[in-house]
């Protein structure tokens, strides 16, 4: 410290020194973030206030905190960066490192066995789903992705899907002639056909607009997606059919994964496990919250099905199992049915 002729001078010097110190620390921390050693671009198609959006943000927070900013995760929600049609290709080319597509979207890129999750009325509860995703079947499915240089890091839920349109959808006859937006899954398309509707495959990010302009008449999704896409403004009726499951697999570019230091892979794996557990924990409440908000908004009539109405829908879609067995692989279907029956 320099010599001062007066204590006031010394105090002024100290306060200038402190201000400088704070400024340099701030600059350093900014530089730290900019100079992250590893950057992960994580792209997804839904809103931030959904099970997937929140789980992705939780992953980012855990990773950046535990690596002291050395690993940076940039989350791109709402198909801002890539959508259903190009996200897999973008990851293959290294334009993004991480995605969390719905399980229904793996058939399109050569993994039709993933469409087993779309079989209508297959799972009675998320506990049933867990028996598959947390067990040997789930592990084997993820391993298959390596065929295309994709590493599967794990599964998590959104929840059960409901049907929407500008009319109640309570009986098979209600679906007659409706154009229903579906994800790119042959199983979901077959399900809609079995109900007498016409499936129209559209990317998620185009769905609301397609409903608004009557390109399609209805769709299916868990309530959190319905609400956060403001589909309630363009659909008068939501029928709580709970007919199928919507879940995700987090996937990462294999080449990128292999270039990481083992300790970083371990950090990311651990953070992902925690983020997925968190995602599963909040999925139900996010859908309940969305349903409550929807009721409050009063824009859309909400219909609960009687057990016999649900049974009739279930019966109407049974042919899908035989029709799609060859595509999925009958052995996968048998194994899953056996696992859920326990």
Compare residues 225 and 309 and give the one whose CB is closer to ligand LMR: 225
Quote the CA–CA distance of 248 and 60 in Å, as a whole number: 17
- The nearest distance, CB 203 to ligand LMR, in angstroms, is 7
Considering the complex, what minimum distance in angstroms separates the CB of residue 12 from ligand LMR?
Answer: 58
Binds ligand LMR (CB under 6 A): choice among 185, 191, 225, 286 = 225
3-state DSSP call for residue 74? Answer: strand
> 237 pairs with which residues across the strands?
165, 301
The 10 Å Cβ neighbour count of residue 209 is 13
Nearer to ligand LMR, 45 or 71 (CB): 45
Task: Find the radius of gyration of the CA atoms of the chain.
Answer: 24
| List 204, 245, 256, 257, residue binding ligand LMR (CB under 6 A) | 204
CA dihedral 55, 60, 62, 68 (to 10 degrees): 180
Cβ neighbours, 10 Å, residue 342: 6
From 12-20, 44-52, 306-314, 320-328, span contacting ligand LMR (CB under 6 A): 44-52
Instruction: Count interface residues toward ligand LMR (CB under 6 A).
Output: 10
Shortest distance, position 28 Cβ to ligand LMR, whole Å: 38
Task: Indicate the SS3 state at residue 40.
Answer: strand
Q: Please report how close the Cβ of residue 176 comes to ligand LMR at its closest, in angstroms.
A: 23
Query: How many angstroms separate the CA atoms of 210 and 218, rounded?
Result: 9
Q: Considering the rule CB under 6 A, would residue 229 count as an interface residue with ligand LMR?
A: no
The CA distance from 232 to 220, in Å, is 12
Q: Could you tell me the smallest distance in angstroms from the CB atom of residue 222 to ligand LMR?
A: 8
Site string for ligand LMR, 168-197 (x = CB under 6 A): ---------------x--------------
**Binds ligand LMR by CB under 6 A, chosen from 38, 41, 43, 46:** 46
Confirm or reject binding of residue 158 to ligand LMR (CB under 6 A). Answer: yes
> Which position among 57, 67, 164, 221 is part of the footprint of ligand LMR (CB under 6 A)?
221
Return phi, psi of residue 180, to 5°.
-110, 125
Cβ atoms within 10 A of the Cβ of 283, count?
A: 25
Q: How far is the CB of 233 from ligand LMR (least distance, A)?
A: 17
Distance separating alpha carbons of residues 107 and 156, to the nearest angstrom: 18
Q: Which of residues 92-121 bind ligand LMR (CB under 6 A)?
A: 102
Does residue 210 belong to the site contacting ligand LMR (CB under 6 A)? no
**Which of 195, 321, 170 minimizes the C-alpha distance to 180?**
195
Tell me: does residue 150 bind ligand LMR (CB under 6 A).
no
55 scored as a contact of ligand LMR (CB under 6 A): no
- Beta carbon nearer to ligand LMR, 38 or 188: 188
Closer by beta carbon to ligand LMR, 72 or else 225 = 225
Q: What is the closest distance, in whole angstroms, from the C-beta atom of residue 45 to ligand LMR in the complex?
A: 5
Q: Is 256 a binder of ligand LMR (CB under 6 A)?
A: no
Q: Is the dihedral of CA 95, 80, 291, 195 positive or negative?
A: negative
d(CA 166, CA 217): 7
Q: What is the rounded CA–CA span in Å between residue 121 and residue 35?
A: 49
In three-state secondary structure terms, 112 is: helix
Question: Residue 286, interface with ligand LMR (CB under 6 A)?
Answer: no
Q: How far apart are the first and last CA of the chain?
A: 75
Among 45, 283, 313, 317, binds ligand LMR (CB under 6 A): 45
Site residues (vs ligand LMR, CB under 6 A): 45-46, 52, 102, 158, 183, 204, 221, 225, 246
């Amino acid at each position: 410290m320099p010599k001062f002729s007066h204590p006031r001078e010394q105090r002024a010097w100290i306060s200038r020194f402190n201000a400088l110190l704070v400024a340099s620390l701030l600059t350093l921390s900014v530089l730290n973030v900019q100079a992250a050693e590893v950057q992960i671009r994580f792209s997804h198609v839904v809103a931030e206030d959904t099970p997937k959006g929140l789980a992705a943000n939780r992953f980012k927070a855990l990773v950046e905190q535990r690596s002291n900013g050395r690993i940076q995760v940039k989350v791109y929600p709402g198909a801002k960066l890539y959508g259903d049609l190009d996200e897999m290709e973008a990851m293959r080319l290294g334009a993004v490192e991480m995605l969390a597509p719905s399980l229904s979207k793996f058939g399109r890129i050569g993994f039709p066995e993933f469409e087993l999750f779309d079989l209508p009325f297959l799972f009675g509860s998320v506990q049933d789903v867990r028996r598959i995703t947390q067990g040997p079947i789930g592990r084997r499915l993820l391993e298959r992705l390596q065929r295309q240089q994709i590493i599967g890091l794990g599964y998590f839920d959104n929840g059960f899907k409901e049907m929407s349109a500008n009319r109640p959808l309570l009986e098979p006859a209600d679906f007659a002639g409706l154009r229903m937006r579906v994800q790119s899954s042959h199983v979901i398309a077959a399900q809609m056909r079995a109900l007498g509707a016409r499936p129209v495959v559209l990317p998620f990010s185009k769905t609301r607009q397609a409903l608004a302009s009557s390109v399609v008449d209805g769709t299916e999704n868990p309530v959190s997606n319905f609400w956060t896409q403001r589909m309630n403004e363009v659909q008068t009726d939501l029928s709580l059919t709970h007919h199928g499951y919507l879940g995700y697999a987090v996937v990462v570019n294999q080449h990128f994964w292999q270039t990481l230091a083992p300790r970083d892979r371990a950090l990311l794996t651990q953070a992902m496990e925690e983020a997925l557990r968190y995602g599963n924990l909040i999925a139900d409440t996010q859908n309940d919250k969305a349903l409550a908000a929807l009721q409050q908004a009063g824009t859309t009539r909400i219909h609960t099905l009687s057990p016999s109405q649900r049974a009739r829908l279930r019966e109407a879609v049974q042919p899908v199992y035989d029709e799609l067995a060859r595509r999925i692989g009958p052995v996968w279907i048998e194994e899953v049915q056996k696992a859920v029956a326990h």
